[in-house]
């Protein structure tokens, strides 16, 4: 099925992160398999992949209609601009409103060494055990932190701790009723265009070193130009 708003979604997600191709490819590769995709910006306090230390500036949460969820981490890897890891699982626990826990049963690993089929990198899948914890709520578009730890069958450890920069989370949802509905797609495209403008201006504020207390005024003026 053709979902034209997904093109706008790719652009929206691309601007909100440092590594454009990784998130864009993730959304396009899954296509209709996803019913939610949320991106968050901030920094990784810890990011370890098989005893190697890396950094990251964003993380995304994905959910499929079948119930599988994942935390997607584009890795700032100087040797591989296609490096992305996903902590994936199906069992969820909500101990309280602002705490989301996902039991991990597999890791999805993408890199420039993986097969490239139909324009997309095909990840390798490693059975693993672990847990992800998200503090905050996607419903309120405010998440303060995400942490994940997983170990595969060979004892390789994947770990990251992410802290949000306080920016509202951008949540993208799709329902069956919206698929193929031109009016719904037009409304979504318009909303995403506004988000894109906001994100561009927010990124510009960071690059130019605008102080946090002055960022709201800077972003509003930027969007008017």
Q: Are residues 99 and 189 in the same domain?
A: no
> What pTM was estimated for this model as a whole?
0.67
Q: Which residues, in sequence order, are bridge partners of residue 160?
A: 47, 148
Q: Are residues 131 and 30 in the same domain?
A: yes
Q: Are residues 106 and 209 in the same domain?
A: no
Q: Are residues 106 and 28 in the same domain?
A: yes
Q: Which residues, in sequence order, are bridge partners of residue 146?
A: 134, 162
pLDDT the model gives residue 200: 64
Q: Please, what's the largest Cα pairwise distance for the chain?
A: 54
pLDDT the model gives residue 198: 65
Q: Are residues 50 and 26 in the same domain?
A: yes
Residues 6+ apart with CB under 8 A from 52: none
Q: Are residues 111 and 215 in the same domain?
A: no
Q: Are residues 23 and 72 in the same domain?
A: yes
User: Can you spell out the DSSP letters for the chain?
Assistant: ---THHHHHHHHHHHTSS-HHHHHHHHHHHGGG-SEEEEEEEEEEEEEETTEE-B-SEEEEEE-TTS-EEEEEE-B-TT-TT-EEEEEESEEEEEETTEEEEEEEEEEEE-TTS-EETTEEPPEEEEEEEEEEEEEETTTTEEEEEEEEEEETT--EEEEEEEE-SPPPEEEE--GGGTT-HHHHHHHHHHHHHHHHHHHHHHHHHHTT--HHHHHHHHHHHHH-
* Structural domain harbouring 190: 181-224
Indicate the number of domains in the chain: 2
Q: Are residues 141 and 185 in the same domain?
A: no
- pLDDT tens-digit profile, the chain (225 residues): 333 334 334 333 333 333 334 444 455 444 445 677 788 888 899 999 988 899 888 888 888 877 889 998 988 888 887 788 999 999 998 877 789 999 999 999 987 777 655 555 577 889 999 999 999 988 788 889 999 999 999 999 999 999 998 887 877 776 544 555 666 656 655 655 565 566 667 667 777 888 877 877 887 788 776
Q: Are residues 160 and 199 in the same domain?
A: no
Q: Are residues 190 and 157 in the same domain?
A: no
pLDDT the model gives residue 175: 58
Question: Which residue is listed with tokens 């209709």?
Answer: 32
| Whether 126 contacts 150, CB under 8 Å | no
pLDDT the model gives residue 33: 56
Q: Are residues 204 and 146 in the same domain?
A: no
Residues 6+ apart with CB under 8 A from 30: 62, 64
pLDDT the model gives residue 89: 94
pLDDT the model gives residue 45: 93
pLDDT the model gives residue 16: 36
The residue from 173, 199, 214 where one domain ends is 173
Q: Are residues 117 and 169 in the same domain?
A: yes
């Amino acid at each position: 099925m053709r979902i034209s708003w997904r093109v706008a979604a790719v652009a929206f997600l691309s601007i909100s992160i440092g590594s454009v191709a990784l998130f864009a490819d993730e959304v396009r590769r899954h296509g209709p398999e996803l019913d939610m995709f949320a991106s968050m910006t901030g920094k990784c306090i810890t990011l370890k992949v098989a005893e190697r230390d890396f950094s990251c500036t964003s993380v995304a949460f994905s959910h499929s209609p079948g119930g599988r969820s994942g935390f997607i981490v584009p890795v700032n890897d100087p040797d591989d601009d296609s490096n992305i890891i996903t902590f994936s699982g199906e069992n969820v626990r909500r101990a309280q409103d602002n705490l989301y826990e996902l039991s991990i049963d597999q890791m999805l690993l993408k890199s420039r060494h993986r097969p490239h089929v139909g324009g997309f990198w095909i990840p390798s899948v490693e059975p693993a055990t672990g847990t992800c914890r998200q503090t905050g709520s996607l419903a309120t578009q405010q998440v303060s932190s995400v942490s994940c730890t997983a170990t595969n069958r060979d004892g390789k450890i994947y770990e990251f701790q992410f802290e949000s920069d306080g920016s509202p989370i951008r949540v993208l949802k799709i329902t069956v009723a919206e698929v193929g509905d031109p009016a719904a797609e037009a409304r979504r495209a318009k909303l995403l265009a506004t988000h894109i403008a906001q994100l561009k201006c927010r990124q510009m504020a960071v690059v130019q070193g605008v102080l946090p207390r002055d960022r709201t005024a800077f972003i509003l003026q930027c969007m008017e130009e």
